[in-house]
Chains A and B, each alone.
Chain A
């Protein structure tokens, strides 16, 4: 059977490449890495007339001269410069009908590579609303290339595009010849001069219809600084409200499912290590992370919607002034906003930042933003120690939570400023980007993107978190004390009262934990954390949470011998009443404030460390990041406890 032809989908950023790719490949797509590099490769297959074609979705470019890491990969793929990947057999060039002037230059360059090219003309509906009319037959004649208008949402033109890409074999002819001795600047001047002439011949604007009224109103609103800033703040408010309010029923559903599954497994396996391993280690450990899937998906849904409507680029434009004061540019706002869901995809999103120094500053700033894994810890401590007081429509617990978000933002901002003045000193970053047209997002494409994010998150839960959960379970379960077990059996044999039996079981679990390797480690390190007001139990829980901070709630639940989670009042009460050997309260207000500061700033996430290593291609930055964040988390907690205790 002959080898399937390889086709790349390429074009300017925001030209509709991914939407087209999603519609052409459907679920026949996968995400992997390019050989030898860490950039994600989205590929899929298309079938037509018993023939198959491999499709690759490439990051957008403006020319064949790359400015960012993403663009470099695209150009290397097209030129066949990546090891293990030959240059493509054919190219689908996605040309945005509203931005023909800009899109034609890259197309000119691609037409000189001796590869067959088909042009997919997208955004025709928006072009019509903007009063732009493209004579695609004339355009096709001028370019000497097939130009096919498509609408991925309605499917119009897609079959024609597929037929054409399968049948085309003739390499493209150069659209325009430039002087051989031209430098890049001269080349751009010549190519765009050609585009200007071509536009005069096509006259898309002169034949325009009246601009759509609703479009004009939206554009006026979003393009004025004051109204667009207000809109931006409203959008952010809605996003955070949705993340907290809408996710709860789904989170409860997952929580109940994990609890039921754990109980089912527990009741069907004999008591012992295997039972504990499956129910407490695997199901409870992974379940405690998967519970955040609804929050992450809601946040990503908003981010995808903002991206696909073209709003995210406007947010970058609006925030550039603010980001400049931190030594960054508006381009950093997109990864930093994504960090409120999870630092891992947000760090991957920094690839759009052209300058490596600015990119590393953003990568090291991102883990300070309050990700959803911090929420259960905040919820537990705030629920237990911050009183339910209302000030008008404001709630004190909500204000404290909001304050913790601000604390994360403050920590990140300070870090960015410090990095720009020390390790990553250099010229101020610039801010250059295109703003896509406002458009109604394509539902299918949004769902594919959401599905993709869910799979990435679940894979993480199934690998890093699973291994971390198993490791923490192992440390907290072994070695087992026969004496504690024998005493428990005696106690259980003496009573049939279920409440008493529950207490005996919980006490035995706590005693076993105390003499486990985790408990012993906690006791060994207790003097180091004592200045923060932490006893061995808190220390053990925090150590257990180093691979993934969300684990700390489950471990505290076990350590304080109730086996329940954050929202369970019993755990909150147990923390409130916990005392040390001298009978002093452990969870005092200064200690709790210190612990909240510690979690706001500390880097307790193996996946984040791994992604920093991957994206910076060095161990230097993850090590610096971990040491720095742990140190300032410690110092913050130390200061809060010591100063608070003196007051």
Chain B
């Protein structure tokens, strides 16, 4: 199953599920990362982590250890 962690720069996806709810996941959900959201990876930091996403005009960064809870298609 592909997750947000696997997205590379300029790749897009739609969030299809969230495998675990914790504080960090809730924080990202409060910023709009919910099931059905269309998301695009805009860039990576040096080393590939954290990642930088755009989401309906908003831009969000997060580390891979949180992003892997978000399943995408």
Residues of A within 8 A of B (CB): 62-63, 65, 67, 98-102, 105, 130, 132, 184-185, 188-189, 192-193, 195-196, 199, 204-205, 223-226, 229, 317-318, 320-321, 330, 354, 428, 430-437
> A185: which B residues are within 8 A, CB to CB?
18, 21, 25-26, 29
Report B's interface with A, CB cutoff 8 A: 18, 21, 23-32, 34-37, 42-47, 49-50, 52, 55-63, 65-66
27 pairs, CB–CB < 8 Å, chain A vs chain B: A62-B31, A63-B30, A98-B58, A100-B57, A102-B55, A102-B56, A102-B57, A102-B58, A105-B30, A185-B29, A188-B34, A189-B34, A192-B32, A193-B36, A199-B56, A205-B56, A224-B43, A225-B46, A229-B46, A317-B61, A320-B50, A430-B63, A431-B50, A431-B61, A432-B28, A434-B58, A437-B59
One of B49, B57, B59, B61 near A432 (C-beta < 8 A) = B61
Beyond A62-B31, A185-B21, A193-B34, is A432–B45 a contact (Cβ under 8 Å)?
A: no
Choice from A67, A189, A192, A428 contacting B27 with Cβ under 8 Å: A67
Residue of B35, B61, B62 with most partner-chain A CB within 10 A: B61
Q: Of B21, B50, B65, which is within 8 A of A317 by CB?
A: B50
Instruction: Quote the shortest CB–CB distance from A284 to chain B (angstroms).
Output: 48
- Interface of chain B, helix or strand or loop or mixed? mixed
A435 and B57 in contact, given A193-B34, A317-B52, A320-B45 (Cβ under 8 angstroms): no
Chain B residue nearest in CB terms to A199 = B56
Set of chain A residues within 8 Å of B65, measured between Cβ atoms: 428, 430
Residue numbers in A under 8 Å from B46 (CB-CB): 225-226, 229, 318, 321
Q: Are A431 and B60 in contact (CB under 8 A)?
A: no
Distance in angstroms from A305 CB to nearest chain B CB is 20
With known contacts A223-B42, A321-B45, A432-B27, A196–B36 Cβ distance under 8 A: yes
Of all chain B residues, the one with the shortest Cβ separation from A99 is: B58
Chain B residues positioned under 8 Å from A226 (CB to CB): 46
Hey, which chain B residues are within 8 Å of A196, CB to CB?
A: 36-37, 56
Interface pair A317/B45, CB less than 8 Å apart: yes
Is B36's CB under 8 angstroms from A435's CB? no
**In the complex, what distance in Å separates the CA atom of A67 from the CA atom of B23?**
9
Bound: A185/B23 CA distance, A: 10
Q: Give Cα A436 to B52, complex, Å.
A: 12
Contact A432 to B32, CB < 8 A, known contacts A199-B56, A224-B43, A320-B45: no
Is A432 a contact of B43 with CB atoms below 8 Å?
A: no
Chain A residues within 8 Å of B45, by CB: 225, 317-318, 320-321
Task: List residues of chain A with CB within 8 A of the CB of B34.
Answer: 188-189, 192-193
Q: Let me know if A321 and B61 touch, CB within 8 A.
A: no
Q: Kindly provide the distance from the CB of A123 to the nearest chain B CB, expressed in whole angstroms.
A: 10
Q: Closest CB of chain A to B49's CB: distance in Å?
A: 7
Q: With A102-B31, A185-B29, A188-B29 known to touch, is A433 a contact of B36 (CB < 8 Å)?
A: no
Residue of chain B at shortest CB distance from A434: B60
Given contact pairs A223-B52, A430-B63, enumerate 4 new A-B contacts (beta carbons under 8 Å): A188-B29, A428-B65, A431-B50, A431-B63
**A434-B60, A435-B60 known; A184-B26 Cβ under 8 A:** yes
Question: Assuming A100-B56, A223-B52, A434-B58, is B28 touching A321 (CB within 8 A)?
Answer: no
| Contact pick for A431, options B30, B32, B55, B62, CB 8 Å | B62
Q: Using Cβ atoms and an 8 Å threshold, which residues of chain A touch B35?
A: 189
Most buried by A among B27, B46, B59, B63: B59
By a CB distance below 8 angstroms, the chain B residues around A184 are: 26, 29
Known: A196-B37, A432-B61, A435-B61. A101 touches B32 (CB 8 A): yes
Closest CB-CB distance, A183 to chain B, in whole Å? 8
Is the pair B32, A102 in contact by a Cβ cutoff of 8 Å?
yes
The 9 closest A-B pairs by CB, nearest first: A101-B56, A435-B59, A188-B29, A102-B58, A99-B58, A192-B34, A63-B30, A223-B43, A62-B30
- A307 CB → nearest B CB, Å: 16
Q: Is the CB of B66 within 8 A of A430?
A: yes
Tell whether, in the assembled complex, residue A432 and residue B60 are in contact, meaning their CB atoms are under 8 Å apart.
yes
Contact yes or no, B43 A225, CB < 8 A: yes
Q: In the complex, what residue of chain A is closest to B61 when comparing beta carbons? A: A317
A99 touches B57 (CB 8 A): yes
Which of chain A's residues have a CB closer than 8 A to the CB of B57? 98-102, 130, 132, 204-205
- Choose one: B24, B37, B47, B61; the contact of A192 (CB below 8 Å): B37
Contact B52 A101 (CB under 8 A): no
Residue of A nearest to B18 (CB): A185
Give Cα A63 to B34, complex, Å: 14
Nearest Cβ on chain B to A329's Cβ, whole angstroms: 8
CB-contact partner of B44 in A132, A192, A225, A435, under 8 A: A225
Residues of B within 8 A of A432 (CB): 24, 27-28, 31, 60-63, 66
Contacts of A321 in B (CB 8 A): 45-47, 49-50
Give Cα distance in the complex from A205 to B40, angstroms: 15
Q: How far is the CA of A431 from the CA of B65 in the complex (A)?
A: 10
- Chain B residues lying within 8 Å of A224, measured Cβ to Cβ, are 43
Chain A residue nearest to B22 (CB atoms) is: A430
Residues of B within 8 A of A192 (CB): 29, 32, 34, 36-37
Q: How far is the CA of A529 from the CA of B65 in the complex (A)?
A: 49
Kindly report which residue of chain B lies nearest to residue A433, judged by CB atoms. B61
Q: Which residues of A contact B60 (CB under 8 A)?
A: 432-435
The chain A residue with its CB closest to the CB of B67 is: A432
Q: Taking the nearest CB of chain A, how far is it from the CB of B53, in angstroms? A: 9
Q: Give bound CA distance, A321 to B23, whole Å.
A: 21
Chain A neighbourhood of B32, CB < 8 A: 101-102, 105, 192, 195
Q: How far is the CA of A345 from the CA of B25 in the complex (A)?
A: 30
B47 lies within 8 A of A101 (CB): no
Measured in the bound complex, the distance between the Cα atoms of B70 and A308 in whole Å is 31
